[in-house]
Chain A
């Protein structure tokens, strides 16, 4: 029998509205960023020269210049910031996985009632403003902050440790902010796992670690990859955490873009930075999308 499907009149109308919206507000802006990244900075409003000019009404002149890109590749600052951002995002992703995986695993194996409470406790910080949660670390890490006060009160240290405005603080902030993003997809993945496979392996004489390595880990591959992408991609362009916790010397590309735009008012260079960041991240986004498609398609 042919399966009946509810047919909404004008199916195309249903998807047309969100489709057009995203085309106008998500895709078109990138074309404009690309265009501006090839133009000259100008002391005008807006501060860039048009790319196309009509000479005497009939000749179209296109001034495409690669100066902005050349500039990014000649100044060490930008290259270092790019490399550093990738490194920081990568290391943070590893730490998120190292802490998030056992947590998601423990949640998935807890009794159903406990599981719901544990899940709620992971979701709750996710609903609280990231800015405020990052701010909380300033109070903990600063020279006369909570951690130093407690350690000095206990006599562990005699002079305060410098933690705020260091790379350490930045890593803590990123791992802290993005931890729920790695726990949730991992939990969703591990929860669906067939535990009998693990028991079979143990019955057949596998050691627990071996069984984990051979059964659980490969089965949760999609969860690991999805969680990693949810941390890595946004962390490369992170702005708030490096600025508030990393101090003035933290070289992150998201900060460079912000400063070029807001402090230097150099829109073309900011655009070129954005385009290079996109070129770096788009392969990861496509990878993420294919993982998601596989996960929703089911076994």
Chain B
């Protein structure tokens, strides 16, 4: 069967991947440039790790990274629990009251413009504080609640689509052999959907770690996250420290994403072999 791509499609692929990667590669290359101008290559003193050292000595960036890490870790764990429950319910319970509204509420955050989500959550936190005194002020806590709300929607989609392609006969066999429902869930279902749960966790972590708009609305004084600090630095143009930060981020993302896909490909091969 002829599955060769035409010249037109190949050209589009080449152009598309160049479009996706030229900005990233250029950002990484210039993070080793000694010049403060960032994009004007200082051949005499480059490549240099100067901006990486500057980054690691920048207390504002380090403090913000710590805040981001706290928010992202808590958020990812909470979002996985909520998203696992919602995804399991949507995939396994064909009919229950509120199914349609639950499906709608887990799809809408995926496309909702962030300014709307951010504004509405902040206004609710303010109204709640006035009404019942909780949450007192805004900061890491309110940011975590806000992030969990949109990241759980992503986890739900990942879990639900994994469960939809999963062989029900495995669960049925365990039931026939007398396993109790909760045991079936923990012994059969959970291990099989573990890769989906892991990628859901990573996705929730990344969404939270990268979020600027919703954090800006729901954070309080003294709880700036990394994207908020980066945004204030780049609003007026380029900054060599941000290039260094981008290089570190891209390296970490590449290692984790490539590692996770290799691991999942292996897990899939083992599952298929059985």
Contact = CB atoms under 8 A, between A and B. Distances in A.
Interface in B18-43: 19-24, 26-27, 30, 37-40
A139 to B, nearest CB: 5
Chain A contact patch, size range: 35 or more
A76 interface: no
B238 interface: yes
Interface string A244-283: 1000000000100110011000010011001001100100
A85 to B, nearest CB: 10
Please report whether the interface of chain A is mostly helix, strand, loop or mixed according to DSSP: helix
Interface in B218-250: 227, 230-231, 234-235, 237-238, 242-243, 245-246, 249-250
Interface stretch (A3-11, A54-62, A66-74): A3-11
Contacts of B123: 29, 32-33, 36, 267, 271
B44 interface: no
Contact of A240 (B96, B148, B212): B212
Contacts of A129: 209-210, 227, 246, 249
A128 B38 contact: no
Chain B contact patch, size range: 35 or more
Interface string A140-176: 1010111001000000000000000000000000001
B23 A30 contact: no
A270 B123 CA distance: 11
A127 B124 contact: no
Contacts of A100: 16
Given A6-B175, A6-B181, A133 B113 contact: no
Contacts of B243: 139
A78 B134 CA distance: 35
A239 B245 CA distance: 22
B5 interface: yes
B113 A136 contact: no
B20 A121 contact: yes
A274 B116 CA distance: 6
Contact of A25 (B24, B96, B145): B145
Contact of A120 (B89, B96, B261): B261
Nearest to B8: A102
Contact of A146 (B39, B89, B103, B171): B39
B200 interface: no
Contacts of A88: none
Nearest to B107: A289
B56 interface: no
A135 interface: yes
Contact of A106 (B13, B85, B119, B210): B13
A18 B209 contact: no
A140 B102 contact: no
Contacts of B174: 6
Given A15-B89, A15-B93, A257-B119, A22 B149 contact: yes
Given A120-B261, A139-B238, A230-B111, 20 more contacts: A6-B174, A15-B98, A18-B156, A28-B124, A99-B15, A102-B12, A103-B13, A103-B16, A109-B5, A122-B20, A125-B20, A125-B24, A128-B250, A130-B210, A131-B231, A132-B242, A195-B1, A257-B116, A261-B217, A271-B123
Interface of A: 3-9, 11-12, 14-15, 17-19, 21-23, 25-30, 32-33, 36, 46, 99-100, 102-103, 105-107, 109-111, 116, 118, 120-125, 127-133, 135-140, 142, 144-146, 149, 176, 179-180, 195, 199, 208, 229-230, 233-234, 236-240, 243-244, 254, 257-258, 261-262, 267, 270-271, 274, 277-278, 281, 284-285, 288-289, 292-293, 296
16 contacts: A6-B171, A14-B88, A102-B8, A106-B9, A109-B4, A116-B261, A121-B21, A125-B20, A133-B24, A176-B20, A179-B20, A237-B113, A240-B213, A244-B235, A289-B108, A296-B161
